[in-house]
């Protein structure tokens, strides 16, 4: 029965052009990708990577990873709370807290194996029966899943509708209120209105849970992310950042008030019951952050801004040349540029058409048909 049930679901996905397929990359992460196509290696231009600063294949980080493996070995050997928390992990957490101190005064950091794990751990641990979560409807899937696992009441507000958020906060009776939002929305590229959201949080004694996976390293002074972009600093923000995008390595972290971090150490099950990431990755990430927050990071961000402008100029020309297709290109100043049509049917041929043009881009699973192209500093 199980195989028949799953086969029927797969056929339904095929009929809607929604079946996911993996591409096998046969080259390091970079703008020029080699994809295995049968026995052949097909060259493509990659517009779907989130290696925003072009550090994923940097030779200095390769050397740092090897150095970390020689110093700390390969595996961590246990969870962080048993004997898997090495000095490499501790150093990374201290560097992260120092990097973000201008935006999160007095905060400490906690490292996780992935952004998905961090968001699920964060919301499931903090969202107890005394809490209400207020989440933007276009938040990342990991925030949606974390909210579903929480015991808190969950209120979803339409994307960017702060009037609806304000009304929900006004009507809320629970003692703990958590406003949950992406900093940069991953498929649309637009920024959350963080100054207004933080003002609402302060007015209603709420906290802001900020997923800044696509802002960290890209926006603001020293690449500190969305908060720095808006010139914000607050102890009310609980920030989740990832280390496999602009930072170019792997993993994630939560940076927040020390009591919040200690609460996660005590109650966040995905943190407690999993083996710590290899310490060599922590060592390489610490080396990468030194590049991201320094003069080289500034230069790479400037180059990224030029690539964003180049990409959007080219996309705008494509949209203008084909008005009958009904494509739209909303405003975005981040590396992600989303363009969409009013119909869901172009999905089926859209990806194959881009592959014939020797390009790769991301496709949203949400209708209407959307595609998101990403600019990177290495392109």
DSSP 243-312: SSSTT-S--EEEEE-HHHHHHHHHH-HHHHTSBPPPHHHHHHHHHHHHHHTSHHHHHHHHHHHHHHHHHH
Structure tokens at 336: 């992600």
Residue with tokens 């496709």: 363
Q: What domains are defined for the chain?
A: 2-56+298-374 (3.90.1150.10), 59-295 (3.40.640.10)
In a structure prediction context, what are the per-residue pLDDT tens digits for the chain, which is 379 residues long?
A: 999 999 999 999 999 999 999 999 999 999 999 999 888 899 999 888 999 999 999 999 999 999 999 999 999 999 999 999 999 999 999 999 999 999 999 999 999 999 999 999 999 999 999 999 999 999 999 999 999 999 999 999 999 999 999 999 999 999 999 999 999 998 889 999 999 999 999 999 999 999 999 999 999 999 999 999 999 999 999 999 999 999 999 999 999 999 999 999 999 999 999 999 999 999 999 999 999 999 999 999 999 999 999 988 988 898 888 888 888 888 888 998 877 766 544 443 444 444 544 555 554 444 444 556 676 766 5
pTM: 0.91
pLDDT for res 301 = 98
- Whether the bond into 50 is cis, omega within 30 of 0: no
Residue bearing tokens 């939560």: 254
d(CA 321, CA 211): 36
pLDDT at 378: 63
Distance CA 329, CA 250 (A): 31
Q: Three-state secondary structure along 19-51?
A: CCCCCCECCCCCCEEEEEECCEEEEEEECCCCC
- How far is the CA of 329 from the CAs of 3, 96, 121, 185, 315, in angstroms? 41, 35, 35, 15, 8
The values of phi and psi at residue 183, to 5°, are: -80, -55
Q: What's the distance, Cα to Cα, between the start and end of the chain in Å?
A: 49
């Amino acid at each position: 029965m199980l195989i028949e049930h799953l086969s029927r679901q797969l056929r339904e996905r095929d009929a809607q052009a929604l079946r996911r397929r993996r591409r096998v990359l046969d080259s390091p992460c970079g703008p020029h990708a080699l994809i295995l196509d049968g026995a052949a290696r097909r060259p493509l231009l990659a517009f779907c990577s989130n290696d925003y600063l072009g550090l994923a294949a940097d030779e200095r980080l390769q050397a740092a990873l090897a150095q970390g493996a020689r110093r700390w070995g390969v595996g961590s050997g246990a969870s962080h709370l048993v004997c898997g928390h090495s000095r490499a992990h501790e150093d990374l957490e201290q560097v992260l807290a120092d990097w973000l101190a201008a935006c999160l005064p007095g905060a400490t950091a906690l490292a996780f194996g992935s952004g998905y794990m961090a968001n699920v751990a964060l919301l499931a641990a903090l969202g107890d029966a005394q809490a209400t979560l207020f989440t933007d409807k276009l938040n990342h899937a990991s925030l949606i899943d974390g909210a579903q696992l929480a015991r808190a009441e969950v209120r979803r507000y339409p994307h960017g509708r702060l009037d609806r958020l304000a009304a929900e906060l006004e009507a809320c009776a629970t003692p703990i209120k958590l406003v949950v939002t992406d900093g940069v929305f991953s498929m649309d590229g637009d920024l959350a209105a963080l100054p207004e959201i933080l003002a609402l949080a302060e007015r209603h004694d709420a906290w802001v849970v900020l997923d800044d996976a696509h802002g960290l390293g890209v926006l603001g002074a020293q690449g500190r992310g969305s908060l720095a972009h808006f010139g914000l600093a607050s102890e009310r923000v609980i920030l989740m950042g990832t280390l496999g995008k602009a930072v170019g390595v792997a993993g994630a972290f939560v940076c927040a008030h020390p009591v919040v971090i200690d609460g996660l150490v005590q109650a966040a099950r995905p943190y407690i019951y999993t083996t710590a990431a290899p310490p060599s990755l922590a060592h390489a990430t610490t080396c990468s952050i030194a590049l991201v927050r320094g003069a080289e990071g500034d230069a790479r961000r400037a180059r990224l801004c030029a690539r964003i402008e180049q990409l959007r100029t080219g996309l705008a020309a494509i949209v203008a040349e084909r008005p009958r297709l009904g494509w739209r290109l909303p405003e975005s100043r981040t590396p992600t540029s989303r363009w969409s049509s009013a119909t869901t049917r172009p999905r089926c041929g859209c990806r194959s058409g881009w592959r014939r043009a020797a390009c790769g881009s991301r496709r949203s699973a949400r209708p209407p048909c959307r595609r998101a192209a990403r600019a990177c500093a290495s392109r």
